[in-house]
Structure 1
Amino acid sequence: MILSEKITEERKKNGWSQEELAEKLSVSRQAVSKWESAQSTPDLQKIIRLAELFEVSTDYLLRDEIISEQYMVKPEYKEEKASIHSVSMEEANAFLNWKRKRAPMMAGAVALCILSPVLLIFLAGLSDSHIWGLSENMACGVGLTVLMLMVAGAVFIFISGGLQGKTYEYLETEQIETAYGVSGLVKEKKKEYESVYLKGIAIGVVLCILAVIPLFMVMAMEAPDYIVTASVSVLLMLVAAGVYLIIHVSTVRGGYDMLLQEGDYSLKEKKYKEKINIFSTVYWCTATAIYLGWSFWTQRWDFTWLVWPVAGVMFGAVSAVAKILVKDER
């Protein structure tokens, strides 16, 4: 158990309300409520007083952090430890709340990029089949206008989110030390979120795989061209939905990993993360340029979408090679 849970448990054992405990400690009820919900932590004097009231040792209240290797710093690392960025309970909660709000926006921006050519593809199919008297120029004009507006909206979200996230940029690149109670709190929240994460990843991947079924079905039935292009639009919508889920849950889970310095945000990974980030930016900008260039040149929007699944599969392999090269360079 973490401190917040121990305070709640001991208070209830003694049959005290939050108001009664607050009165004994000469603090407000809101302060006790924040301690028990892990929004803040009591100072050392209050911990000593809590131990006296509960008739337990301070070691019992602090044990989960005392045995943590995170706080067992060897003498030769004292100078290095002094430069480590400290993260308070309030800062950690603010960051996690920001990540939860940011996740749907980031996922939505990526989905907008995937959905941007949907109307263009659909209208192009209608104009080719001379349905609704839609001319090719009108279909192209309307479709491209919507495409550019959606891409512009996605870019705005990316840029604004990046500017807002400058406050927490150090969590991705610097070594951090969390204040008392933060590590335990984040581990509990990550554990609670694990089922949501796994379900989101599973559904997202399944949607991306099943997205091609409508296209295969209409091709097998030898449907008219406008039905084929419409099925491509459906394909992109299903892929967008799957990618939205994957990015949404991954963004939230990434916040927990940042504070715990696990996975892609471990100390080892942070040493060369800056170079890898530059590589990722160049890679996806290149993939986007290839997709748009190929699509506009050939006008085969029903085929050029293959750039994205191929780029996604290759990204894992190319990233691994890039990491090896960066490690060798170091």
Structure 2
Amino acid sequence: MILADKIIELRKRQGMSQEELAEKLGVSRQSVSKWEGAQSTPDLNRILQLAEIFGVSTDTLLKDTEELSVSTAPVSESAETEPPLRKVSMEEVNGFLAANEKHSVFISVGVFLCIICLTPLIVLDNLTSVGDAIGVPLMFLIVAAAVTLFIITSQRMKRYEYLEKEGIDTEYGISGMVTEKKSKFEPKYTMSIVIGVILFILAVVPTIIIETIYGENKYTEALEPTLLFVFVAIGVAVITRSSIIMDGYKKLLEEDAFTREKKSRSHKPNPAFIIYWCVVTALFIAVSFLTNRWDLTWLIWVIAGILTPVVLILFPNKKS
């Protein structure tokens, strides 16, 4: 076993991400990534630090003939009962990345459809006398299409659920390859967040402009909320797609929410979180239709988002 593989294995046994190990060593995450990808070698001082952090000898790290035993690195008391790491091949990783790319598209389109599902009803209700008769069925058809997308893509991704629940041991070279892809994607990810937030902020601008120029009439009352929903839907879809792709890289690297420690926790959804957003959705729909102030009721989503951390603190999910 070469040094690169030993660093990967020992880091994962400790339940550390590349960022956490880099912080302990006082180096950049890119440096750790290069070591694990066998693109460079740590200097002597870093070797000594690595040996101290992992609780092994420098011979264990440096000698290619030296293999890591199960008890080489100190682990938590619960490690004895932990299941063995799942081996993941390069072929499987490439398959997951391709599937995750498609998954991100399906989910983002589904989210977009869910957000704009009310727009046909709003438009038809303002411009025709049969708005409810046609608009309501259209709304349910759009929701059904979104749910279909969610179900199809969820079934396709079932084979990769272990990445969220089990510790993994990737083949040599995979960590470096995934890290490189993640680094290249990070600027796009940041830009997508920026674009999404800008669209949220600008969502109300068309409403203000239209009302200022044309005043209130049946056409503006139909157009204003429609544009508002479209802007928000595009913003959410853009952020959703890039977030799913980024999470895919983090699953393979076992970073952030996908570290060994966090995988060992319960994966059951928080009931309070689900109930909270159901109530927020019902409140938004009820207030919007009762007041017909779609230009203002969108703020309910903003306020709900701000209050989400409070809900999670007051009603934390129980660990298994």
Q: In the TM superposition, what is the alpha-carbon distance from 1:95 to its structure 2 partner?
A: 0.7
Q: Which residue of 2 aligns with 1:153?
A: 145
Q: Which residue of 2 aligns with 1:74?
A: 71
User: Which AA in structure 2 matches 1:252?
Assistant: I
Structure with the larger helix share: 1
Question: Gaps spanning 5+ residues in structure 2: where?
Answer: 14-67
Q: Which residue of 2 aligns with 1:235?
A: 228
How far apart are the structure 1 equivalents of 2:266 and 2:312?
Answer: 11
Q: Which residue of 2 aligns with 1:64?
A: 4
Q: Which residue of 2 aligns with 1:257?
A: 250
SS of the residue 2:267 aligns to: helix
Alpha-carbon distance change, 166 to 281 in structure 1, aligned in 2, over 3 angstroms: farther
Q: In the TM superposition, what is the alpha-carbon distance from 1:289 to its structure 2 partner?
A: 4.2
Q: Deviations over 1:76-100 (max 9, x none)?
A: 6685565222222111111111101
How far apart are the structure 2 equivalents of 1:284 and 1:274?
Answer: 19
Q: Which residue of 1 aligns with 2:133?
A: 141
How far apart are the structure 1 equivalents of 2:163 and 2:214?
Answer: 53
SS of the residue 2:236 aligns to: helix
Query: Could you tell me whether the CA contact under 8 Å between 1:197 and 1:250 is conserved in 2?
Result: yes
How far apart are the structure 1 equivalents of 2:85 and 2:104?
Answer: 27
The alignment status of 1:310 with 2:303, answered yes or no, reads: yes
Q: In the TM superposition, what is the alpha-carbon distance from 1:231 to its structure 2 partner?
A: 1.2
How far apart are the structure 2 equivalents of 1:198 and 1:184?
Answer: 21
Q: Deviations over 1:23-71 (max 9, x none)?
A: xxxxxxxxxxxxxxxxxxxxxxxxxxxxxxxxxxxx7xx4432333237
Runs of 4+ with deviation above 6 angstroms: none
Q: Which one of the candidate residues 168, 171, 184 is aligned to 1:192?
A: 184
Larger Rg: 1
Alpha-carbon distance change, 247 to 94 in structure 1, aligned in 2, over 3 angstroms: same
Q: Which residue of 2 aligns with 1:247?
A: 240
The root-mean-square deviation of aligned C-alpha atoms, in Å, is 2.8
Question: Which runs of structure 2 are paired with 1:81-120 in the superposition (5 Å)?
Answer: 83-120=84-121
The alignment status of 1:211 with 2:203, answered yes or no, reads: yes
Q: Which one of the candidate residues 150, 154, 179 is aligned to 2:171?
A: 179
How far apart are the structure 2 equivalents of 1:308 and 1:154?
Answer: 20
Alpha-carbon distance change, 84 to 294 in structure 1, aligned in 2, over 3 angstroms: farther
TM-score with structure 1 setting the length = 0.68
Alpha-carbon distance change, 96 to 282 in structure 1, aligned in 2, over 3 angstroms: farther
How far apart are the structure 1 equivalents of 2:315 and 2:260?
Answer: 18
Question: Gaps spanning 5+ residues in structure 1: where?
Answer: 1-58, 127-133
Alpha-carbon distance change, 159 to 80 in structure 1, aligned in 2, over 3 angstroms: same
SS of the residue 1:275 aligns to: coil
Q: In the TM superposition, what is the alpha-carbon distance from 1:223 to its structure 2 partner?
A: 0.8
SS of the residue 2:155 aligns to: helix
Question: Which runs of structure 2 are paired with 1:122-133 in the superposition (5 Å)?
Answer: 122-126=123-127
Query: Could you tell me whether the CA contact under 8 Å between 2:272 and 2:311 is conserved in 1?
Result: no
Alpha-carbon distance change, 283 to 173 in structure 1, aligned in 2, over 3 angstroms: farther
Question: Which runs of structure 2 are paired with 1:248-327 in the superposition (5 Å)?
Answer: 248-276=241-269, 280-292=273-285, 298=290, 300=292, 302=294, 304-323=297-316, 326=318
Percentage identity across paired residues of the two chains: 34
Q: In the TM superposition, what is the alpha-carbon distance from 1:104 to its structure 2 partner?
A: 1.0
How far apart are the structure 2 equivalents of 1:186 and 1:80?
Answer: 29
Q: In the TM superposition, what is the alpha-carbon distance from 1:216 to its structure 2 partner?
A: 2.4
TM-score with structure 2 setting the length = 0.70
